[in-house]
Amino acid sequence: MRGVLIGLALLAAQDTTPAQPNELSKLTGQLVITGESMTDPAPDQKSDRVGLFWDGESAKRVYDAMQAKAVDSPCEEGMRQKSAGGLECFSHSDGTYACSAGIMLATGKTRSVSAC
């Protein structure tokens, strides 16, 4: 029985089938509780938002699903960007994807947390 469970776990870990719409997929990333400026905060800055950052296949899924028009990003040569409120996703010239979203802790409204 233990061998079967280990085998199933290995198969699940190797599954590279793209997720379908309405299908949950694994999301890994980073978060930060921050204020208006993440890069140079004032000493009295209030931490009023959560910044979420993720990349890989889950970021590609979000980028592809976004209805916003892709535009050239001012941050990096060859990078394309889609934005909708505080949700921003990037397609890098090397074929990788990354997204970020800022959510205000008091209201749940979105704010950008991206920085070049």
- Rounded Cα–Cα distance for residues 7 and 27 (Å): 23
Q: Could you give the number of structural domains in the chain?
A: 1
pLDDT on residue 43: 83
pLDDT tens, residue order, the chain (116 aa): 333 333 333 334 434 455 666 788 888 899 999 888 777 777 888 888 999 999 999 999 999 999 999 999 988 899 999 999 999 999 999 999 999 999 999 999 998 887 77
Which pTM was predicted? 0.75
Domain region containing 58? 52-116
3 falls within a domain: no
